[in-house]
Amino acid sequence: MESFALSFASMLLALGVVIAIAWFALRLLRDRMQPRVKADGGVDDALRFVRALPVGAKERVVIVEHRGARWMLGVTAGGINTIAQWPAASEASSSQPVRNPEGGVPSL
């Protein structure tokens, strides 16, 4: 009976160590995945995924954010194309997407 109690206690101790390691690893990943705010109030250069909409088997429309500007991208198996871009809130007063003068969409 004494060996069962000893093995049970060692199993609980090992389980506690594994849970503690998992908790620290998840905290580290969460902190690294969130955008960081700089001291001057701006956001860092991290690319942030906003939303995706599948439009086919391998095609989708994706919205990402970089430096406050939002980009609508068409993603296919053959490549990535810019559909529209909205400037950062401090740069634009309207919510209309920016387009090239030739009538096309801006490129990255």
Give the Cα separation of 76 and 32 in Å (integer): 28
Phi and psi torsions of 23, nearest 5°? -65, -45
Residues 68, 97 within the same domain: yes
Both 26 and 78 in one domain: the answer is no
Q: Is residue 94 part of a domain?
A: yes
Q: Which domain holds residue 13?
A: 1-34
Enter the DSSP assignment of 103.
S
Predicted local confidence at residue 36, as pLDDT? 62
Does some domain include residue 39? no
Instruction: Per-residue pLDDT tens, the chain, 108 aa: give them.
Output: 679 999 999 999 999 999 999 999 999 988 777 766 666 665 566 788 899 999 999 999 999 998 888 999 999 999 999 999 998 776 555 555 655 444 455 444
For residues 70 and 48, membership in a common domain is answered with yes
CA dihedral 48→54→60→63, nearest 10 degrees, is -30
Coarse DSSP helix, strand, coil percentages of the chain, rounded to the nearest 5 percent:
30, 30, 40
Q: Domain check: are 26 and 52 in the same one?
A: no
